[in-house]
């Protein structure tokens, strides 16, 4: 599998849509489809189930995406190290960001670190909290951006930011006419959610906030927040949604509601091994201490 086809495969798997993947990659959809067919012929397997209105990964496709992701990350690390050597860089900081968060205090700390230590190379990737914590635990990365709480005793977690939690409802839903929704009203609602395995701590925290006395009636699980919002727009159900993701995607047909009572927030943090000896990690944590005012976080 060459790098170009690996990138194509991962992009399609991220979106489960050839049109959006082609737009992200800046290639024609026909060319993208042709390259995937070539890859399927080379491997001798079918990677995507193209039946129905939406494509999905086959069992070989899931394995292929995992291997393609590893291949791309290895290639990216190699490129960064080569460039760092050419620039006379002193060290490397490896960061994996969470898919559900961008910007805020984490981005501020990274930008400040770049300015203060321009000779330290930074390699950045993204994934779900569960994968990120695994990478930090086994030493593949130095810093994992996560959605706490994290049940990983090998890791130290530092809270850096927070994000408002809202409720996404279809535009024609009765909730869309309310100033705020009572939690008791959610008991019988059909719910769209993402897989708990992506971030068990965050998932359980959301359930505790919205459904403190009964389990949510989850009727569909989607791979990420964007697909969750599209399912809400289609009238499948309501969904808890971080405000930042709702603002980023702005899916038509979705109305964002408040929940009655005090505003609810989801924390954002970084996880790392305390026994990691990388000097770049220590310098990054020093920058975090300087630029992030944790006293402003809601307790």
Are 281 and 260 in the same domain? Answer: no
Who wins on pLDDT, 257 or 81? Answer: 257
Both 138 and 179 in one domain: the answer is no
Is residue 278 domain-shared with residue 140, that is, in the same domain?
yes
User: Predicted confidence band at 254 (pLDDT cuts at 50, 70, 90)?
Assistant: very high
Q: Is residue 74 part of a domain?
A: no
Q: What is the pLDDT of residue 96?
A: 95
For residues 128 and 172, state if they share a domain.
no
Total domains, the chain? 3
Taking alpha carbons only, the member of 156, 102, 193, 159 closest to residue 271 is 156
Q: Which helix (H) or strand (E) holds 201?
A: helix 200-210
Structure confidence at residue 186 (pLDDT): 94
pLDDT at position 86 is 55
Q: Helix-strand-coil percent breakdown of the chain, rounded to 5?
A: 45, 25, 30
Phi/psi zone of residue 44: left (φ > 0), alpha (ψ -120 to 50 degrees), beta?
Answer: left
Tens digits of per-residue pLDDT, 35-93? 889 989 988 999 888 887 788 888 998 999 989 988 888 887 777 666 655 554 568 99
Residue 240, in any domain of the structure:
yes
Q: Is 100 in the same domain as 152?
A: yes
Is pLDDT above 90 for 275? Answer: yes
| pTM strictly above 0.75 | no
Residues 188 and 219 placed together within one structural domain of the fold: yes
Q: Are 139 and 155 in contact (CB under 8 A)?
A: no
- Do 124 and 271 fall into the same domain? yes
pLDDT of residue 297: 66
The model's pLDDT over 168-200, given as tens digits with 9 standing for 90+, comes to 999 999 999 988 999 999 998 999 999 999 999
- pLDDT digits over 219-240, tens only? 999 988 899 999 999 999 999 9
Are 17 and 33 within one domain?
yes
Q: What angle do CA 203, 262, 188 make, to 5 degrees?
A: 55
Counting every residue written for the chain, the total comes to: 299
Same domain flag for 129 and 259: no
User: Does 256 share its domain with 197?
Assistant: yes
Q: What is the DSSP letter of 238?
A: B
Domain contains 79: no
- The answer, yes or no, to whether residue 159 has pLDDT greater than 90, is yes
Overall average pLDDT of the 4-26 stretch: 88
What's the CA gap between 197 and 202, in Å, rounded?
Answer: 10
Domain that holds residue 186: 163-266
95-144, pLDDT tens digit by residue?
999 888 877 889 999 999 999 888 888 999 988 999 999 999 999 999 99
CATH number at 123 reads 3.40.190.10
Same domain, 150 and 173: no
The reply to whether 81 falls in a domain is no
Closest by alpha carbon to 119, among 280, 278, 277? 280
Regarding whether 248 and 184 lie in a shared domain, the answer is yes
The span from the CA of 209 to the CA of 48, in Å, is 37
């Amino acid at each position: 599998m060459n790098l170009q086809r690996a990138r194509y495969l991962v992009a399609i798997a991220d979106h489960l849509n050839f049109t959006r993947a082609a737009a992200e990659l800046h290639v024609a959809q026909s060319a993208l489809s042709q390259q995937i067919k070539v890859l399927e012929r080379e491997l001798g397997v079918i990677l995507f189930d193209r039946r129905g209105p939406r494509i999905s990964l086959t069992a070989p496709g899931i394995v292929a995406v995992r291997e393609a992701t590893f291949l791309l990350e290895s290639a990216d690390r190699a490129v960064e190290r080569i460039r760092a050597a050419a620039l006379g860089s002193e060290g490397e900081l490896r960061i994996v960001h969470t898919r559900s968060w961008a910007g805020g205090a984490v981005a501020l700390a990274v930008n400040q670190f770049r300015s203060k230590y321009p000779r330290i190379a930074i390699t950045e990737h993204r994934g779900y909290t569960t994968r990120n914590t695994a990478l930090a635990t086994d030493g593949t990365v130095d810093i994992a951006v996560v959605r706490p709480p994290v049940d990983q005793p090998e890791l130290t977690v530092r809270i850096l930011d927070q994000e408002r939690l809202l409720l996404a409802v279809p535009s024609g839903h009765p909730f869309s006419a309310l100033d705020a929704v009572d939690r008791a009203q959610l008991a019988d609602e059909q719910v769209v959610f993402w897989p708990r395995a992506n971030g068990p701590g965050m998932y359980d925290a959301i359930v505790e906030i919205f459904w403190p006395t009964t389990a949510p009636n989850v009727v569909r699980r989607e791979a990420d927040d964007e697909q969750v919002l599209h399912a809400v727009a289609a009238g499948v159900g309501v969904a808890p949604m971080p405000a930042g993701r709702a603002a980023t995607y702005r899916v038509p047909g979705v109305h964002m509601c408040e929940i009655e009572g005090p505003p609810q927030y989801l924390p954002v943090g970084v996880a790392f091994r305390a026994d990691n000896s990388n000097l770049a990690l220590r310098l990054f944590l020093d920058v975090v201490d300087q630029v992030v005012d944790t006293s402003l976080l809601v307790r």
